[in-house]
Amino acid sequence: MLRRCSNIPRSALNLSRPATRAFTKPSAPVSASALQLSTKENVLFELDVKKVGHEIRKRGLTSAIGAQREGGMDRDTIIRLLYSLGSRHEVERYLRIFTQSSSDVTAGGVLPEAKFAVLKIGGAILTNELEDLALSLSFLNRLGLFPVVLHGAGPQLNDILEAEGIVPDYEDGIRITDPKTLSIARRVFLQENLKLTTALERLGTRARPIPTGVFTADYLDKAKYGLVGKITRVDKGPIEAAIKAGCLPILTSLAENAEGQILNVNADVAAGELARVLEPMKIVYLNEKGGLYHGVSGKKISTINLDEEYDSLMRESWVKFGTKLKIREIKELLDTLPRTSSVAIISTDMLQKELFTDAGAGTLIRRGHKLYKQPGVEAVGSTQLRQVFSERDPEVSSGKRSVAEIFGDLKNGSSTIYGDEPFDVVAVVSHPQGETPVMTKFLPSANGMLNKIADNVFDVIKKDHKRLFWTAKADDENRAWHFERADGSFTRAGRSLFWYGVSDVKEVERIIEGFEQSGRIERVFLPVGPSVPPHRLNAAQSGVRAFSTSTRPSMSTSTSTSRRGYATSAEVPRKKVALIGARGYTGQNLISLINNHPHLDLTHVSSRELAGLPLKEYTKSNVSYSNLSVQDVGKMAEENQVDAWVMALPNGICKPFVDAIDSASKKGGKSVIVDLSADYRFEQDWTYGLPELYGREETKSSKRISNPGCYATNTQLLLAPLMPHLDPNQMPSIFGVSGFSGAGTKSGEKDSEGRPKTVPKISAEDLGLSIRPYSLTDHIHERESRNHLSSLLPTETREQFNLAFIPNVAPWFSGIISILTAPLNKSFRASEIFDLYKEKYENERLITLSQNQVPDVRDQENKHGWKMGGIQVHSSGKRVVVVGTLDNLLKGAATQCMQNLNNSLGYDELAGIPLDKL
């Protein structure tokens, strides 16, 4: 747990990095006092990252401004403050890359200082985080960096438009801009631009407002969007003039056409066009969220490597609407820029950590390259590889060995070369048959480290080799990178030895002795001094302080890892499920999902009528139906024979089974229950599991979960986005029609083999070509929906909420279509209603949204998701009709049950659910 601290001691902020030391085997264990000293030295790593970042910016600027007033600025003091966020080597490496020589002008003639970074600032940050933003920008400028800043002002503009009675209007996500809107927008941009430059000047940082004059544009589509521009030219002159004068350029996204007409341009688009001209190393989007988030796990995505991941990422069902558009636009931008350029999406207060540490803090998006690995003997003829060794290998540059000698070693067939296509990183792993692998070469370029390509290459190596040893010079500029990836290390005679995958020191010593005898590494590392990198000290089994060369680790938060990597999760243990009531349609569908699940095993299926017969639909193992009694279930629960119970029984039947499991839990039973009936949907001590609306987080720690009803799921998904906007004096109503499978099954009939058949209570023949209304008032799904939807309202208005629901059964097998009619408390346009649904469900992988197209129930049969559409608003603007569809046996029952099982057992929510059938 990170310890939060509001006051950071000045002495802590002035800590300097420890000098590199070589260690020999100690004569006695390290004392407790040494461990205590280490804790004091690393006190900053227990602090909250955001507070540290804010504090070092404040103190750094205070020191710098004071020094400047005295005639000079102590830049080294400011740099030392950055060591609180990452290692000295990390910080200095990034500073060296960012602060290029002024003589290093590119062929395009762009001023080098302008090639550091383009920062796009969201309008909300100017309102809510102006102080932090000004501190961050000033801190960078004190380091000699000149980020080119372009800001928006959308929220401020919307507030003023609303106050003046103008309803903001959008088409295809683009603000429709009439002359009055543009007049207000221009005023707002000027005000916000001046506000930021004034905040910077107060901190002693020179800033130059450049609200217009950089972008030239034509009309995007005057008839459709009004005064909205498409940028045709970017004039970098005003930007470079500001930088030459020592000022930070502060731009808006306003453009002009050839006639001098001001045009509105989306700020993200303008930032992209600016980047295409300046070709900066970093394009940074500052927003309040601080990154992109995975639509299923909810976790921040650390890195997206477009060349490796783009196609598969865009096929993910949660990547849609705004998220899909943003990723596509970023790819199109990076495709036009040098591979050294990358995009970072980050919060203001984590900007320094993102820019100056290997771990980063937000979401890094880079082109990357497809990785490769090949036998060393096949790579020997590569001219590019020969050049890499000539330019980067210390042995070659020092004259100790030639490239031909190194290539000769590769011909023995026991080495693999890893890297990326343009050779930004090359690594060689020697792995003779039956011996421990050694990484004999690690040759990254500056770009390979800057854009974390080295991380990806190392991840591939780690997948291939469960243990690995390697060495590096003690003063290697990437020393911190090596420590972060090692389980153990120590330094001797100017070289550091690293390894992972071996925890026993005696085994390490034995392996190294074998290396030295065979000449695979230098004869300098015996006797072995066991060590654990500082960043893994707390996780080590021993309480002894590591005696390796000390490296300060990068800070990490509870929501991020210590370094960049792909956003994939490791496999989790397999778990067992028992299904009580397997004969019905829902039970059959659930069996199919578990059969498809990568981590769940179905060990028991209970059905009185099918007891003793084999479960043919399940292919992972041989399972037969049984007839489990209440006593059987209680004993199994007490012995923890299964991890989860699914109750697929009719209403009013499952209570004795639940009571038996509850009783077992008092004796140490730990199993989860998911009940598909209506018995526990109103119980306060049960979690109601409709993940897209409520229960997702609670389910992850809950042992008792009630699965929503099919009609109730459709009704609640339809109504939830509209809840704050309903007319409190009129009830919304839902007209629902379900396939006849929703009426359940009946027993009695048997097939030709004598097995009981699953027969619907109501058949298509019974219904003919008509639909049959039933339970026209007080249907249980009406009460269920009202009960849970009311929780979305303020406490004082919950009792007033009501709704009307009319169910019908139709002559198709499965699928529900519900038509919602909802009175509204103010006038809306259809596009605004659709925006409410997008805001609510945009990142939900099982939900498909359409504004105009009415979903067809036939298209949703055998599909695992929910689909809405057909939005139509009454001419008054105060009544809306929306249509929703789902398969009552899947998203209305079995699929939703699987979501709840996954959440409660610690799996990805959609594990086992075929995502190609949404």
- d(CA 755, CA 451) in angstroms, rounded, equals 62
**Strand ranges, E, within 638-786:** 644-647, 672-675, 687-688, 704-706, 733-739, 745-746, 759-760, 772-773
- d(CA 710, CA 651) in angstroms, rounded, equals 14
Angle of the 267-278 helix axis to the 321-335 helix axis, nearest 10: 20
CB atoms under 10 Å from CB of 434, counted, come to: 5
CB–CB of 303/363 below 8 Å?
Answer: yes
Which CA distances in Å does 911 have to 416, 580, 598, 887? 34, 21, 7, 19
CB–CB of 501/488 below 8 Å?
Answer: no
φ and ψ of 600, to 5 deg: -100, 145
CA dihedral (138, 143, 146, 152) positive or negative: negative
CB atoms under 10 Å from CB of 102, counted, come to: 9
CA dihedral (361, 362, 368, 373) positive or negative: positive
Largest CA distance in the chain: 99
CB–CB of 364/564 below 8 Å?
Answer: yes
- d(CA 759, CA 777) in angstroms, rounded, equals 28
CA 530 to chain centre: 36
- d(CA 889, CA 816) in angstroms, rounded, equals 10
Does residue 527 have a cis bond before it (omega within 30 degrees)?
A: yes
Measured between its terminal Cα atoms, the distance across the chain in Å is 39
Is 710 known to be catalytic? yes
- d(CA 386, CA 391) in angstroms, rounded, equals 9
3-class DSSP assignment, residue 745 = strand
Q: Which class for 165: exposed (0-12), middle (13-18), buried (19 or more C-beta within 10 A)? A: exposed
Which residue shows structure tokens 């897209």?
Answer: 692
- d(CA 194, CA 199) in angstroms, rounded, equals 8
- d(CA 185, CA 179) in angstroms, rounded, equals 10
- d(CA 219, CA 227) in angstroms, rounded, equals 7
3-class DSSP assignment, residue 821 = strand
CA 310 to chain centre: 14
CB–CB of 885/848 below 8 Å?
Answer: no
3-class DSSP assignment, residue 183 = helix
Structure tokens that stand for 131 in this block: 């102080």
Structure tokens that stand for 864 in this block: 């695992």
Which residue shows structure tokens 């880079």?
Answer: 366
- d(CA 606, CA 624) in angstroms, rounded, equals 9
CB–CB of 337/275 below 8 Å?
Answer: yes
**What residues does 419 pair with on adjacent strands?**
372, 426
The residues, any chain, with a CB within 8 Å of residue 168's CB and separated by 6 or more, are: 157, 158, 161, 162, 175
Sheet holding 575-580, edge to edge: 625-626, 600-606, 575-580, 644-647, 672-675, 704-706, 687-688
Q: Pick the catalytic residue from 5, 247, 654, 710.
A: 710
Alpha helices by DSSP H, 219-305: 222-225, 237-244, 267-278
Please identify every residue annotated as catalytic: 710
